[in-house]
Amino acid sequence: MEQIPAEAIADELNSQGLQSGSIFGAISPAAIRFLITNGEVFRVAKGEEIFRYGEPGCSFFVVCTGSVDFFKHHEGKDAYTRTVMPGEEIGFVAMIALHDHVGIAVAHEDSIVLEISSDLFADLHEKYPFDFGIMTLNLARDLARIVRKLSNILVGHSIEH
């Protein structure tokens, strides 16, 4: 992953484009600028790992451009569970649950991701409390969509009785 200075990518990552994604929907341009300026922005090449199973989950990533595949690790096996699209997140569950990553995130194509650390997330709460509340609601909605999608997959593979 190649870190990109925020000022070098500011035009490409305008707040209007980011606001169309699920995580930044209804978030103020000032709060988005705060996250981009204080977070870490990375350019990730297709096939490159963003995080691995067992690494500390002290941050999460918002896909700004491109897409990222997630492979859940369990009992020595990795299984594809979803592709994360622009405006969606990957890694939030590990950060909020205070545990290590439970899988591998790999760039599906050349992508740009914004890393938001737990400290930056707390700073957002302090400096932009209204936006923090909206973003938390957006994150919860995103997680609910993921749970629904994965539970539908489980039902499709279950044995009827």
Residue/partner pairs of 75-81 with CB below 8 Å, 24 or more apart:
78/53, 78/103, 78/104, 81/150
Q: Is 30 helix (H, G, I), strand (E, B) or coil?
A: helix
Rounded distance, CA 56 to CA 75, Å?
19
In the prediction, which pLDDT does 16 show? 59
Q: Whose CA is closest to 82, among 150, 157, 140?
A: 150
Rounded distance, CA 103 to CA 8, Å?
31
In the prediction, which pLDDT does 159 show? 58
pLDDT lower than 50: segments of the chain:
161
Say whether pTM exceeds 0.85.
Answer: yes
In the prediction, which pLDDT does 148 show? 87
Q: Per 3-state DSSP, what percentage of the chain is helix, strand, and coil (rounded to 5)?
A: 40, 30, 30
Question: Domains of the chain by range and CATH?
Answer: 2-153 (2.60.120.10)
pLDDT (tens digit, 9 = 90+) per residue, 24-67? 999 999 999 999 999 999 999 999 999 999 999 999 999 999 99
